[in-house]
Structure formats: C-alpha cells, structure tokens
Structure 1
C-alpha cells in the first residue's frame, strides 16, 4: 500500500507531464491559427490565380473544378 501511495505522490509531483500538456496546447493553437490563416488566404489566392488565368491571351487555363 505504501508503494502505491509513493507512486501516486511521485506522479502528482511530476512536472514533465504538465510541460508536455502545455506544449501540446501550444502546438494545437498554432495548428488552428494556421488553418484559419491559410483558409482565408486560400480564397484570395484562388481569386488571384483565376484573374491571372483570365488574363492569359491564349486562354489555355483549366478551370480546376
């Protein structure tokens, strides 16, 4: 029983797990930010390439969809 209590105490005092959780949260927030930024830029880039494609004299662009 004492070894069980000591193991729980060591786990309770372990700061490495807290650091891992914090790093996981930071990575998750960065991923969400990248998805939002790239999602909003994606629409603008699609319009930019569509406009550039329409400007091509030969009209040799594909619709892509």
Structure 2
C-alpha cells in the first residue's frame, strides 16, 4: 500500500511532461508568428533584396554561382 501511495505521489508531482508540452506550444507559436510575418511582409522583403541585388550589380559585384 505504501508503494502505491508513493508511486501516485511521484506521478502527480512530476512535471517534466508538462514542461515538454509548454515548450512545444511555445515553438508552435513562434513558428506561426514567423509564418505570419513572412506572409505579411513577403513582398516588401523581396523588393528590398531585389533592390540590394541591383545595387550590387551596378557596382560590378556578382554572385558566386
């Protein structure tokens, strides 16, 4: 009987599984935020990179490909 009580007490006090779930939720929220930012700012980011690429091309700096 003591073993059962001790085991149940350990089971209910163990929070490692809850911590793993919390980290999973945080990662999911961060990924969702990054996706939302890319969707909302995607065109502006693309224009900025194209502008930067054009300026480099004018200076004679090309890619390594």
TM-score (norm 1): 0.56
Task: Provide the rounded CA distance (Å) in 2 between the counterparts of 1:59 and 1:16.
Answer: 60
Matching of residue 24 in structure 1 with residue 20 in structure 2: yes
Shift of 1:37: 0.6
Q: RMSD across aligned C-alpha pairs, in angstroms?
A: 2.8
Matching of residue 46 in structure 1 with residue 42 in structure 2: yes
Q: Which runs of 5+ in 2 are unaligned?
A: 58-62
Equivalences, count? 57
Higher relative contact order (CA 8 A, sep 6+): 1
Corresponding position of 2:8: 12
